[in-house]
A and B are shown apart, each in its own frame.
Chain A
Amino acid sequence: MFSYYIKIALISIKRNWGLSSLMILAIALGIGATMTTVTVNYLMSADPIPHKSDQLYYVRLDSWDPNNPYNEGISPPAQMTYIDATNLLKAKKAYRQNLSSQAFGVIEPPNPDDLPLFVFGRANSSDFFAMFDVPFLFGSPWDENSDLSKEQVIVLSKQTNDRLFGGENSVGKTLRFESKVFKVVGVLDHYDPKPRYFDISTGAFDDPADFYVPFSLIAEQAVRRSGNTNCWKTFGDGFEAFLASECIWIAFWVELQNQDQVEAYQTFLDAYANEQKNFGRFPRPIDNRLTNVTDYMEEREVVADDARMMMAMSFMFLVVCLLNTVGLLLAKFIGKAPEIGLRQALGASRSTLFLQYIIESGCIGLAGGLLGLLFAYLGLQSVETLYGSYMQGLATLDFNMVVFAMVLALVSTVIAGIYPTWRACRIQPARQLKCQ
């Protein structure tokens, strides 16, 4: 019987192609608009490391100005001072720990006639790669000793390796970076998490790093650092003074495997802050926080306001499209009153008819959903074009989204079809049969 209803529905849709295509178009536009914005929001708020997001914690300490609380006292400073980050790293109280900063520099090509390469990257601890499951194509991370002994080693992104070494296994080779010789120890596979959760200080959707070097090289001034720096207390001239200052510029992450470890680490942090008070630091009340990946992304509102607003508007847009569909379905089904009356005379019960017309609504919904996917695809293409690099990688439909689109189209159209169908099935057959 089900296939019969579908056949009848298709015939009916074909015979009333004007009205049907209007409905399909309306639903498709609604679904297209909604899916475009939902996809962008979904990818913006996606859990970038689902299997571990509850084990990775961002560490914040309130070492800020006693007179002017950071962020109006709502949350402690978003980054950490060099003193605290290096102290916490040395303490090794977590399963894994990583401190990192953005860095940049110039790579001089082996052939002096080629143009030097300007690269942006990160300076971080050796644990970084294991903590964030960074995929390696060749080689491996540097080890902790390289970090401690300030070895000039470098891990290249796939793209940088392609540009410098034509994609070959370059592990063991050397290159001139910032006028110094660095040894390549590893080459990454494609790695571009969205959002770039381990450092959102300059934007959650920035381009991926070109290289990674040991963090200790920053203090050596072997590589130049960049990124966001905030200070509240004056300090003397020179880099040493800067490192010893209360300026915050480092992202500090720890990996904690269970709740006990989390509690222990929190206790450790609070004890650390109290201890620092003895040195005249941490003038504010203790406010140290451990925040896991998803909570941190939520707190920092990585999903842009524009994207959320657009999503709200697109849902309203969908409602308009559905109201339109309700109206047109009502028109269509009431126009079918004689047929409905006849079918009742020929033995169709109301529930049978209800099913038949709901299936017809569903068919229109599915057709609208399919066309809507096409619109969503086009919509995402134009979003990517319009917003440029900001939206790179945030505008692709994945399998979940395709399923969501079809379910949304089907469910919303069936809901839109309920009232018209109910009205249609309440028709008194006797009235419809006598005169047309």
Chain B
Amino acid sequence: MLEIGLIFRALMRNKIGALLIALQIALTLAIMVNAIFMIQDRNVQMSRPSGLDESNTFYLTNTVFGENYNLQAALQTDLQKLRNMDGIDNAIQINAVPLSDGGWSMGLAREPGEDKNSVGTAIYMVDEHGIDTLGVNLIAGQNFTQQDIAWRGAQDTKWPPKAIVTKALATSLFPDDWQSAVGKTVFISKDQPMQIIGIVEQLQAPWNGWSGVERSTLVPSQLESKSAKYFIRTEAGRRDEMMAAVEKFLSESDKQRIIRQVMTVEDTRKQSYQQHIATNKILTTVIITLTMITAFGIVGLAIFSINRRTKQIGTRRALGATQWQIMRYFMVENFMISAVGVTIGAIGAIALNYWLVNTFQIDPISIDLIIYGVIALFIVGQLAVFYPAKRASLISPATATRTT
């Protein structure tokens, strides 16, 4: 303890050197804490379930180019055959796929009219097999029946009278009691009534960055379209095998179309979050490199200061200081510099976060994270100074008596 005053006075004589290290530690803390925060934020986003049975589903796009093509008959035949294929649990036609970044959104309002507030939702057009094929959980109300399903032409603007919504959408529409949504009528496209007949637990919209990503609506429509998606759920573990089989079967059964973009939901998730994953990797690299640079800076300056004080250290040893006392001197010195650094750094971290929050719409940081960062940097500092301190402790007491 008696050393602290001594170390402090010695530090004051080399203020700039100590300050440089402290500033490095401060900036490292500020950047590190914010980077980790951003990584965590992305990880939370990426870990949200889509609601789909992701490991056993895939989809493809069926694009028709032939003329005088009977779209309705072809779709019915395709789905029938797919559903009967060995290894396939169920199959549907759908207009969009969660997380795929392409889809259809509409607003739902509790009252009809031009100027009523509406809640945005993703629209998925499915038939009565939709809930089973997607793998979503119906937690209230009921599924569509075969009678509910209606054809929808490419330019139609009429909506079917029934819908199934996600719990999140039900909560947005009826904030007091989401379960009360079942049986209620809401309005789509300003004035077309739609009755909510069921609620599913979770089903994400196609756009992962959208604030309403959990708000989706299933409607009982089948698209009469020259470019539609088939969504297929296989028996557990047979997805990859079935992907190839289905592609081959569909391409060969009809030469007037192209089967393209055959893709698993898992790959879609990866692609959807590709930027997140990439950014996280870069941020991780930044944190590691930054910490290493700071650590090397500490090592470099400690070695320098020890070289400069060789004779002084020798003299201390000659006067009876133990090796441990010499080491302790440098470790305490580093601790004191780190303390200044992390204090400035904690303020810097909050300031940087404040700027990020204002510029890039990021949430404010939690204090816990700053505390962990502070502890981590204290440890890094002590580890970095350990080797130079060890070297200092090995300086021979005889150095004291040498003149040069």
Contacts and interface: CB of A to CB of B under 8 A. Distances in A.
Tell me, yes or no, whether A and B come into direct contact in the complex with CB atoms closer than 8 A.
yes
Interface of A: 19, 22, 26, 29, 33, 65, 67-68, 105-106, 108, 112, 115-116, 118, 178-179, 224, 234-239, 241-242, 305-306, 308-310, 313-314, 316-317, 319-321, 323-324, 326-328, 330-332, 334-335, 383, 386-388, 390, 419, 423, 435-436
B17 A306 contact: no
Contacts of B305: 331
A316 B278 contact: no
Nearest to B28: A320
A234 B403 contact: no
B31 interface: yes
A106 B63 contact: yes
B23 interface: yes
B250 to A, nearest CB: 13
B31 A328 contact: no
Interface in B200-245: 226-227
Given A118-B258, A306-B275, A106 B296 contact: no
Interface residue range, chain B: 35 or more
Interface stretch (B52-60, B149-157, B321-329, B375-383): B149-157
B65 to A, nearest CB: 4
Nearest to A328: B300
A306 B191 CA distance: 40
Contacts of B404: 435-436
Contacts of A241: 155, 157
Contacts of B23: 323
B135 to A, nearest CB: 27
Nearest to B104: A229
B17 A327 contact: yes
B16 A419 contact: yes
A335 B300 CA distance: 13
B293 A310 contact: no
Given A179-B66, A235-B157, A237-B157, A324 B278 contact: no
Given A33-B286, A316-B30, A323 B275 contact: no
A330 B260 contact: no
A390 B27 contact: no
B396 interface: no
B400 interface: no
B67 interface: yes
Contacts of B352: 316
A335 B282 contact: no
A241 to B, nearest CB: 7
A115 B190 CA distance: 44
B65 A330 contact: no
Given A235-B157, A327-B20, A390-B275, A317 B258 contact: no
Contact of B63 (A22, A118, A319): A118
Q: Name the residue in A238, A423, A436 with the highest tally of chain B Cβ atoms < 10 Å from its Cβ.
A: A238
Contacts of B179: none
A234 B191 CA distance: 9
Interface string B270-282: 0100110111011
B155 A320 contact: no
Interface of B: 16-17, 20-21, 23-24, 27-28, 30-31, 34-35, 38, 63, 65-67, 114-115, 153-158, 189-191, 226-227, 255, 258, 260, 271, 274-275, 277-279, 281-282, 286, 289-290, 293-294, 296-297, 300-301, 304-305, 307-308, 352, 356, 359-361, 403-404
A37 B360 CA distance: 17
> What 4 A-B pairs have minimum CB-CB distances, sorted nearest first?
A386-B278, A331-B304, A106-B65, A67-B115
A224 B290 contact: no
Contact of B155 (A238, A313, A321): A238
Contact of A326 (B20, B65, B275): B20
B256 to A, nearest CB: 9
A320 B290 CA distance: 8
Given A327-B297, A386-B277, A436-B404, A178 B155 contact: no
Contact of A237 (B158, B281, B403): B158
B155 A29 contact: no
B279 A306 contact: yes
Nearest to B289: A29
A127 B277 CA distance: 41
Contacts of B153: 237
A150 B289 CA distance: 60
Most chain-B Cβ atoms within 10 A of its Cβ — which of A178, A309, A387, A388? Answer: A309
24 contacts: A106-B258, A115-B258, A116-B258, A118-B63, A179-B65, A234-B157, A237-B156, A241-B157, A305-B360, A309-B360, A310-B282, A316-B352, A317-B289, A320-B27, A321-B293, A323-B297, A324-B293, A328-B304, A331-B17, A335-B308, A383-B282, A386-B277, A386-B281, A390-B275
Contact of A26 (B66, B226, B258, B296): B296
A242 B65 contact: no
A235 B157 CA distance: 7
A328 B301 contact: yes
Contacts of A330: 16-17, 20
Nearest to B118: A68
Nearest to B348: A316
B31 A22 contact: no
A320 B24 contact: yes
Given A26-B297, A105-B65, A335-B308, A387 B157 contact: no
A388 B274 CA distance: 8
Given A234-B191, A331-B301, A22 B296 contact: yes
A310 B287 CA distance: 12
B304 A316 contact: no
Nearest to A320: B27
Nearest to A326: B20
A324 B301 CA distance: 9
A159 B48 CA distance: 39
B351 to A, nearest CB: 12
Given A33-B286, A326-B20, A387 B294 contact: no
A323 B67 contact: no
Contacts of A237: 153, 155-158
B23 to A, nearest CB: 5
A421 to B, nearest CB: 13
Nearest to A387: B278
A314 B286 CA distance: 8
Contacts of B260: 118
Given A26-B293, A313-B35, 15 more contacts: A179-B67, A234-B191, A235-B157, A237-B158, A241-B157, A306-B279, A309-B359, A310-B282, A316-B27, A324-B294, A327-B300, A328-B297, A386-B277, A387-B275, A435-B404
A68 B190 CA distance: 12
A329 B269 CA distance: 49
Contacts of B271: 388
Contacts of A105: 65
A115 B259 CA distance: 10
Contacts of A327: 17, 20-21, 24, 297, 300-301
A275 to B, nearest CB: 24
A321 B260 CA distance: 49
Nearest to B404: A436
A18 B20 CA distance: 20
Contacts of B356: 309
A316 to B, nearest CB: 5
A220 to B, nearest CB: 14
